[in-house]
Structure 1
Amino acid sequence: MAERVIEVDGIELCTESFGDPADPPVLLIMGLGASMLWWEEDFCRMVAAGGRFVIRYDHRDTGRSVTYEPGRPGYTGADLVADAARVLTAHEIPAAHVVGVSAGGALAQLLALDHADRVRSLVLISTSPALPADGELPPDLPPDLPPDLPPPTEEFVRFASAARVDRSDVDSVIEHQVAYAGVLAGGRRPFDEAAARVLVRRDVERAHDFGAARNHDVLTDGAVPQAPLSSIAVPTLVIHGSADPMFPLRHGEALTERIPGARLLVLEDAGHGVDRADRATVAAAVLDHTA
């Protein structure tokens, strides 16, 4: 279906749906700094073909959603959580199965805590606990860096610290994003650089202002739920690659332990995100979990 810009509470968000609106709804939440294109269309259609109504959307400051001045986002992480509920409201969906990847998985967890009535089940991919085990945040610790879990790999840290990009040069931005995608792939499988380059170029050229996505790097958390992850009561599936360089596998294991009844699916040698080689496996897992 065609893209649709929705407006709820004065916020414009670009969405796209696949499948029959009469089927059980599945809301896809992408990670920060990434538009909905990273939920690749083939994956969306696989899930829709299994009898689900699939919705993907651009976060603020990505793709064709509302864009703010770089360095001045004017919103918080809590607002991005509320945006997921806004997308459901605009599509007249009371509650959906929610699938989040990377930081989108953290947003999905917080959605299940703050808007429990909007979430039928969770699938959390390549992510980490959004809150510490006791649900309380020390004042000096952001929620995406739990103190008891391993840091990113050395290769990931080297790339993040050494990478240089000229944000005014489209080609420089594309080269940086392709290289970043290569690092996230984890290094244990062949990396399809050509396919990544096509996707990145489309993402950059489609955005209102691709540089605005940097606002996600300076977001404050906003209102953090007071309830711990152990209070999440919906069926939860955690999917994690064994070669994830951003959130090593222990993050997925810890998340599974902290949410009652959660199950863990490990993707051997997979990196961060939904690799093309795992697309059918992940789609089948989502369909099974949401049946």
Structure 2
Amino acid sequence: MTTVDVNGVTLGVESFGADDAPLVLLVGGTTMLSWPDALCEHLAAGGRRVVRYDLRDSGESSTTDPEAPAYTLRDLAADAAALADTLGGGPAHLAGIGVGGMVAQLGVLDHPGAFSALTLVGTRPVAPGPPDEDLPDHDRATMSRLFARPMPDWTDRAAVAEFVATGAEIRGDDPVAARAVAARIWDRTPGTAPAVQLANQLGLVFSRLDCTPRWRERLPEIEVPTLVVHGRHDRFFPVGNGEAIAREIPGARLLVLEEAATALPDAAVGEVAEAMLRLG
């Protein structure tokens, strides 16, 4: 892992594969660890240079005030384009997961020359907050259970990991895998202040981020090959969101993971990586 300076900020990055191979840039959602190690390794074995990175206010990237971010969603999209340019090697395959998928959609729309392909995993075509009437919202029962839990002691690594693991179980994800990733995220979080921890562990900075104007109506402008991946049992961004994105991006392929929920499980990594490699 290292850092790269772009757009006046520092971004934490990690690379897999040969430096001269075609670039696949993985937008964190919000930290780079949203992307499984096994997926990065599989893509690298397929002849790609894989770079996953932390969004601002997470991981090794610049952290200021996650409760009042002085940047917008479009700034995050510009970060992706600038990072692709700095890393070199021509247009990159851009991939975003969760809220990182919102960054990736805008990255391709606002900076089309920077990217040659697009993968969107477990995301939706509108900003955080109430969705459009035709899009399924977060599962209410799941959200009620998630928000009924008391916050952990953010200075206690084990307590934070357990909190994240129980949340994963409520969402239908693997709690064992979630606990391990949460501990790794805690180790990389620059402080134990609740706002900083919430930004890293849950991406709550996005609830305070300026995501205007809308971009959903621009999705038909996307011309690069696109793969949309979604878990059939996703209770946070239900699968109808991925179906809508795939309908609205010309020629997009929809890959529904029948046994997955919100997270990308290791059992699906091979199938997802192969589908990404076919995009270019």
TM-score w.r.t. length of structure 2 = 0.89
After superposition, the C-alpha distances for 1:130-152 in whole angstroms (9 at most, x for unaligned) are 47xxxxxxxxxx68722211112
Residue type of the alignment partner of 2:244: A
Distance 1:226 1:254, change over 3 A: closer
Alignment correspondent of 2:148: 162
Equivalent residues of 1:110, 1:130 under 8 A apart: no
Superposed, 1:1-291 pairs within 5 Å as 3-31=1-29, 34-130=30-126, 145-166=131-152, 168-170=154-156, 171-185=158-172, 191=174, 193-209=175-191, 211-212=195-196, 213=199, 214-222=204-212, 228-290=218-280
Distance 1:93 1:209, change over 3 A: farther
When structure 1 is superposed on structure 2, of 194-203 and 60-69 the one drifting more is: 194-203
CA distance in 2, matches of 1:224, 1:13: 26
Flag structure 2 segments of 5+ consecutive residues without an equivalent. none
Distance 1:226 1:162, change over 3 A: closer
Equivalent residues of 1:237, 1:264 under 8 A apart: yes
Q: What is the root-mean-square deviation in Å for CA atoms of aligned residues? A: 2.1
Equivalent residues of 1:238, 1:263 under 8 A apart: yes
CA distance in 2, matches of 1:151, 1:103: 14
CA distance in 1, matches of 2:154, 2:232: 36
Distance 1:60 1:155, change over 3 A: same
CA distance in 1, matches of 2:97, 2:235: 14
Structure 1 residue 278: Cα displacement: 0.7
Percent identity over the alignment?
A: 37
TM-score w.r.t. length of structure 1 = 0.86
Normalized per residue, which structure has more helix?
2
Figure out how many residues of one structure are paired with residues of the other and give that number.
Answer: 271
Equivalent residues of 2:161, 2:180 under 8 A apart: no
Distance 1:70 1:114, change over 3 A: closer
Flag structure 1 segments of 5+ consecutive residues without an equivalent. 132-141
Structure 1 residue 36: Cα displacement: 0.6
Structure 1 residue 28: Cα displacement: 0.6
Structure 1 residue 254: Cα displacement: 0.9
Equivalent residues of 1:62, 1:209 under 8 A apart: no
Equivalent residues of 2:225, 2:251 under 8 A apart: yes
CA distance in 1, matches of 2:12, 2:67: 22
